[in-house]
Chain A
Amino acid sequence: MKIARIKAIAKKEIFHVVRDPFTLALALLLPVMMVTIFGLAIEFNVQNIKIAVYDGDQTQSSRKLIDTLASSGYFLIDSFPTQFAAIHQVDAESDRAALMIEPEFEHHLWSDRGARAQLVLDGADNSTVGSVVGYFTAMQDLATHKILGSPITTPVEVKTRFLFNPELNSRWFVVPGLLVVVVGILSILLTSLTVAREYENGSMELLLSTPVEPIEIILGKLAPYVGLGLSAVVFVYIIARVFFHVPFLGSHFTLILGCVLFLSTYLAQGLLISVTTRKQQVAMQIAMMSGLLPSILLSGFIFAIESMPLFFRGLTAALPARWFMVICRDTFLKGSSLYALRYSFLALLLICTVMVVIASKKFKRDVEP
């Protein structure tokens, strides 16, 4: 193995990256786009939920309930004179929910039956219904307190305190996870194209007839993408810290170690795809299927792994993205040590080794069809 040959391959690869508008755009724009979409546009904290209200009671108590909702900041109140008009708003998807306050609300409040109001929700809109109900329950307690003018008289009080993310700020949760998605897509997509391109262009035939060793080709090709991947890491890290004010409690060494391990695993996977398919189109599609989708859908980035069906929960164990997601979030928000994250690191190391071994076994010095 000669370092000079690895350097020559790496230099050539950098020329390709810099001179190919598609690769360059992918490498530069993709992280920016991902951070913008996931960091800014996608809002997991639901705010300003438009809610239609029919106040059939028109008393002090009913108005207090409505005021509590309005002043919480979560709800925007639309008042309607009839029940029908309020429900129609939900029907027409103009409002997310409708609150119906019965005419006898205040009267019932002081009776044994208890006051009742009805909340009508659009069950087809799965994404916000949960949050609306969640917020509403909290508001209900607050309103009871305000209307009755006394503390809630439940004998046992359960208070919730969220560790590591006291405000339950979804960006704190999402942005470190973006590291997984951005690095994942970049590494697997770019490397899956790199070897396939050489086969398609016919240059692999010439390359393999020279004294260059397959391992030199692999290392030379991977080096620029490791650099590219790590610069994406730095980019997302700065965005997370400076723009989203995500705290970083762990050690940078642990995070970087995790990044390098994850990057190597995905690069090897991309290489394996490239070496096996030898066609850019096919390689790109398989890279999307095996790298992009799992790192968004099955890594715990959006959907919690614990609530997945057993089969998928098992499947995630084989996905590098799932383990790196834990490492990212825990080093950022919990400040977990290398020891605390040992299982994630071991799993990542195992998957990485398997990928590298298969990829280098598959990469043979021939042009057999």
Chain B
Amino acid sequence: MNHQNLPHPQGVGIAVQDLKKRLGPNQALDGVTLNFQAGLMHGLIGPEGAGKTTLLRTLLQLLKPNSGTILYEDEGKATPFTDLRPSIAYMPQQQSLYADLSIGEHLEFFKELYSIPEAEYQQKSEELLKITRLDKFIDRPAGNLSGGMYKKLGLMCSLLRSPRVLLLDEPTNGVDPISRREFWDLLYRLADQKILIIIATAYLDEAERCAQVHLIESGRTLAEGEPRELLKLEGVPNFDALFIARSKRKEGPHATHT
């Protein structure tokens, strides 16, 4: 499946080539190569410490890679990151909202940061509040929200101005199953709008919900492709099994050395 042979994709695509990033004593990214095709929902799957967060931060230029390249494409044309920044929304893994600001104040704050016109903001915030069912809690400070509500507020802040790229770092971590399903319903609505979604997660069942999955471990790509094809190719029933099989294969030669 070569990206170059496809007709011009709509929207933003990102190609990562041999990316390396050292963080203190850890080689967080160790030559990862990935292709995030425009308009699709990509799952970045891997265990804790695989380098998912580092990769997302590098994509956002919040971290500078030690080597390797990141190519941003808009409508098939190479585009500098700074031109794309206003169209990229990000939801960090760690708590990153202001505990003392209410839901409404958060929305107002991000409206100003993204320079969203008033009319668009009114319509969008009303719609998002209704979908997330957070409209009843508009005056509640973020510090008093439950885990699921907090994540939904985070997502709402990033969706406020219709991004073309959405980067989500473990958005459903620590969220109860019902809230998780609601969260995914929200994501599915977005997937229809042809935006590039990259979602990092440690939940392997969430991988199957993505159009493309990228398995990474120890800062390297283990496998990538369409979820069902990948499973069929490996002859495994689910991603847990796939991960275990792949990890073993990778560690195999090392094990004989030690």
A residues in contact (CB < 8 Å) with B: 2, 4-5, 7-8, 11-12, 15-16, 19-20, 201-203, 205-212, 365-369
Contacts and interface: CB of A to CB of B under 8 A. Distances in A.
Contact of A211 (B99, B100, B105, B114): B114
Given A19-B100, A206-B92, A366-B64, A12 B24 contact: no
B113 A210 contact: yes
Given A15-B101, A368-B63, A369-B24, A5 B113 contact: yes
B1 interface: no
B62 A369 contact: no
A367 to B, nearest CB: 5
Contact of A202 (B61, B95, B101, B109): B95
A367 B62 contact: yes
Contact of B88 (A7, A12, A15, A209): A209
A213 to B, nearest CB: 10
Interface in B10-26: 23-24
Contact of B92 (A8, A202, A211, A369): A202
Interface string B85-97: 1101111101111
Nearest to B110: A210
Nearest to B100: A19
Interface in B111-155: 112-115
Contact of A366 (B61, B85, B101, B115): B61
A8 B100 contact: no
B128 to A, nearest CB: 17
Contacts of A365: 61-62
Contacts of B23: 369
Nearest to B60: A209
Contacts of B92: 202, 205-206, 209
B57 interface: yes
A20 B157 CA distance: 23
Interface of B: 23-24, 57, 60-64, 85-86, 88-92, 94-101, 105, 108-110, 112-115, 157
B85 A211 contact: yes
Given A365-B61, A366-B61, A366-B62, A203 B115 contact: no
B115 A5 contact: yes
B62 A201 contact: no
Contacts of B114: 210-211
Contacts of A209: 60, 62, 88-90, 92
Contacts of A206: 90-92, 96-97, 157
User: Which of B23, B94, B157 counts the most chain A CB atoms within 10 A?
Assistant: B94
Nearest to A11: B109
Contacts of B57: 205, 367
A4 B113 CA distance: 8
Nearest to B23: A369
B96 A205 contact: yes
Contact of A4 (B86, B99, B100, B115): B115
Given A206-B96, A367-B62, A211 B112 contact: no
11 contacts: A5-B115, A15-B98, A19-B100, A202-B92, A203-B96, A205-B94, A206-B90, A206-B97, A208-B62, A365-B62, A369-B23
A8 B113 CA distance: 7
A12 B101 contact: yes
B90 A368 contact: no
B29 to A, nearest CB: 14
Contact of B98 (A203, A210, A368): A203
Nearest to A16: B100
B96 A12 contact: no
B64 A4 contact: no
A17 to B, nearest CB: 10
A208 B95 CA distance: 15
A201 B98 contact: yes
A209 B157 CA distance: 12
A12 B64 contact: no
A20 B141 CA distance: 13
Contacts of A210: 110, 113-114
B96 A8 contact: no
B215 to A, nearest CB: 25
A366 B112 contact: no
A8 B121 CA distance: 15
A7 B95 contact: no
A8 B109 contact: yes
Nearest to A2: B115
A203 B108 CA distance: 16
Given A8-B112, A11-B109, A205-B57, 11 more contacts: A12-B105, A16-B100, A205-B92, A207-B113, A209-B88, A209-B92, A210-B114, A211-B114, A211-B115, A366-B61, A367-B63
Contacts of B64: 366, 368
A4 B96 CA distance: 22
B8 to A, nearest CB: 27
B105 A15 contact: yes
A211 B95 contact: no
B70 to A, nearest CB: 14
Nearest to A20: B100
A201 B143 CA distance: 12
Given A7-B112, A368-B63, A369-B23, A202 B96 contact: yes
B112 A201 contact: no
A367 B109 CA distance: 21
